[in-house]
Amino acid sequence: MYLSILNCLDLVFWFAFLVTRSFLWRNLDFPTSLRSTTSRQMAGEGKVVCVTGASGYIASWLVKLLLDHGYTVHATVRSLDDPKKTEHLLALDGAKERLSLFEANLSVEGSFDSAFNGCVCVFHTASPVTFASLDDPQMELLDPAVKGTLNVLKSAAKVQSLKRVVFTSSLAAVIYGYKPPSGVVDETWFSDPVFCEQTKLWYHLSKTLAETAAVNFSKENGLDLVVINPGFVIGPILQPTLNFTSEAFMSFIETGKEVFADGIYMLVDVRDIAIAHILAFEKAEANGRYCIVGDVVRSSEIKMILDKLYPDLGFSQRYKDKCVEAQLYSISKVKAESLGVDFTPLEVSLRDTIESLKEKKFMKL
Ligand SMILES: NC(=O)c1ccc[n+]([C@@H]2O[C@H](COP(=O)([O-])OP(=O)(O)OC[C@H]3O[C@@H](n4cnc5c(N)ncnc54)[C@H](OP(=O)(O)O)[C@@H]3O)[C@@H](O)[C@H]2O)c1
């Protein structure tokens, strides 16, 4: 009798466990990127790596996941005196034991020397990000992106222990040219700098020129460079201030104002991008560039998902779909998946973006 009660309790326990597990999996409460990496945890034990522009949106997640994987992280910020740029990093798990902050500026040659000392990998993410019209694009965007990247690589080239540089480029360096994207776009596509300059796409020009400069410098100086080309990044925010793209996406959610005039979004979760950077270092066979885009969708599809998740936003009543029905294309996932990137479903990324914006009180719902 006693035994059969125990057996019953066992059965109830296992049933509850299996139902909960399948619920979590099916309801996608864990982003896939984080699920798939637990087995690689502590791969970084004993390894020192550096992240430039560490207080930024993507870099903060990269620092967090590197610490979670056991790495010792050197993180560069522009000012050590600004708590908004440092406190969220210092509060990360493992930061007390394995995170050191360094001050470095892209416009100062040699600025990154001490941060790179003893590192096996440099993750170069720092670059100004804005699509706004600028008084002086050369000084505000192009110089920090291009000359700044060369400064970073010159510092990296001096480091004996360095095995690889992972450079954060963008889809902005892939698809912008006189020929609009169509069919399947992959890593063989390159944005045209003349087109970017003539159409005043300064950010796109900065990323295109910076990637070319990075590839050329690395070839000439024997650096092993792997390039990550993310689409438009969404997902939860770790830093306490809004970065440019999260602010633009929040404005789209709140007002319906398109971030991209053609109403087409190449979206990817920030956690998938951070993992892609780590895989680009850890996989010895990684090479060249990697387009990392989870979904290419029209804004109408985003609004439909948001309407389902948050009916109070009133997307179905508030906005008529004004987007021009430009021809949709796709971004190849072949290389990204060969790297091991396991994309987070769009619905999860959208939900986590909104929950994070609400939690940080940027957005009221
Ligand atoms: N977000 C996207 O959708 C997206 C998509 C594709 C590629 N990317 C690329 O990903 C990288 C990170 O973007 P993000 O969205 O995370 O932007 P972010 O939050 O604005 O981060 C950019 C970082 O670069 C730093 N930085 C800018 N100018 C600098 C300078 N002169 N010296 C030193 N550091 C400087 C910033 O420092 P401060 O905090 O001091 O300003 C910040 O930490 C960029 O290379 C961007 O081009 C972003």
Instruction: Specify if 364 maps to a domain.
Output: no
Average pLDDT score, the chain:
89
| pLDDT score of 71 | 98
Mean pLDDT computed over 259-274: 95
Whole-prediction pTM: 0.90
Nearest to 237 by CA among 329, 121, 356: 356
Nearest to 212 by CA among 230, 198, 200, 229: 229
- Tokens linked to 287: 């090479």
Residue 351 has pLDDT above 80, yes or no: yes
How far apart CA 196 and CA 198 sit, in angstroms, is 6
Which comes out higher in pLDDT, residue 112 or 3? 112
Burial 279-318, CB ≥16 within 10 A → b, else e = bbbbeeebeebbbbbbbbbbbebbbebbbeebeebebeee
Name the DSSP class of 212. H
Q: Domain range holding 165? A: 33-359
CA of 20 to the centre of ligand 1 (A): 39
Instruction: Specify if 12 maps to a domain.
Output: no
Instruction: Specify if 183 maps to a domain.
Output: yes
Instruction: Specify if 325 maps to a domain.
Output: yes
- By the 8 A CB rule, do 350 and 306 touch? yes
Work out the pLDDT band at 318, boundaries 50, 70, 90. Answer: low
- Tokens linked to 312: 């109070």
Instruction: Specify if 8 maps to a domain.
Output: no
pLDDT in tens, 321-335: 555 566 689 999 999
DSSP string, 290-313: EEE-SEEEEHHHHHHHHHHH-GGG
**Count of the separate structural domains present in the chain:** 1
Residue 30 has pLDDT above 90, yes or no: no
| pLDDT score of 313 | 83
The length of the chain in residues reads: 365
Instruction: Specify if 85 maps to a domain.
Output: yes
- Those residues whose C-beta lies under 8 Å from the C-beta of residue 240, and which sit 6 or more positions away, are 84, 87, 88, 360
Residue 352 has pLDDT above 70, yes or no: yes
How far apart CA 309 and CA 115 sit, in angstroms, is 43
Mean pLDDT computed over 332-344: 98
Instruction: Specify if 26 maps to a domain.
Output: no
Name the DSSP class of 153. H
How far apart CA 117 and CA 162 sit, in angstroms, is 9
Mean pLDDT computed over 152-175: 98
| pLDDT score of 248 | 96
Q: Is the CB of 267 under 6 A from ligand 1?
A: no
Atom of ligand 1 nearest to the CA of 243: 19
CATH number at residue 290: 3.40.50.720
- Tokens linked to 153: 């690589």
| pLDDT score of 326 | 63
Nearest to 43 by CA among 294, 340, 349, 343: 340
| pLDDT score of 256 | 85
Residue 152 has pLDDT above 60, yes or no: yes
- By the 8 A CB rule, do 200 and 153 touch? no
Helix (H, G, I), strand (E, B), or coil: what is residue 232?
A: strand
| pLDDT score of 364 | 82
| pLDDT score of 328 | 84
Beta strand residue intervals within the chain, DSSP E: 48-52, 72-77, 99-103, 121-124, 164-168, 184-185, 225-230, 232-234, 264-269, 288-292, 295-298, 330-331
How far apart CA 79 and CA 200 sit, in angstroms, is 30
Instruction: Among 60, 109, 127, 271, name the best residue to mutate to test ligand 1's pocket (greatest count of ligand atoms within 8 A of Cβ).
Output: 127
Instruction: Specify if 276 maps to a domain.
Output: yes
| pLDDT score of 29 | 41
Percent pLDDT > 90 in the chain is 79
Nearest CA to ligand 1 atom 31: 106
Instruction: Among 58, 88, 108, 151, name the best residue to mutate to test ligand 1's pocket (greatest count of ligand atoms within 8 A of Cβ).
Output: 58
Residue 23 has pLDDT above 50, yes or no: no
**Residue 207 is among the residues annotated as catalytic for this protein:** yes
Q: Is the CB of 234 under 6 A from ligand 1?
A: no
Name residue 224's amino acid.
Answer: D
Residue 11 has pLDDT above 60, yes or no: no
- Tokens linked to 240: 């306490």
How far apart CA 131 and CA 200 sit, in angstroms, is 10
In the block, tokens 């990496």 appear at 37
Residue 199 has pLDDT above 50, yes or no: yes
DSSP string, 39-53: GGTTTTTT-EEEEET
- Tokens linked to 260: 């991209």
pLDDT in tens, 67-103: 999 999 999 999 999 999 999 999 999 999 999 999 9
Residue 15 has pLDDT above 80, yes or no: no
pLDDT in tens, 203-262: 999 999 999 999 999 999 999 999 999 999 999 999 999 999 999 999 999 988 899 988
Mean pLDDT computed over 258-287: 96
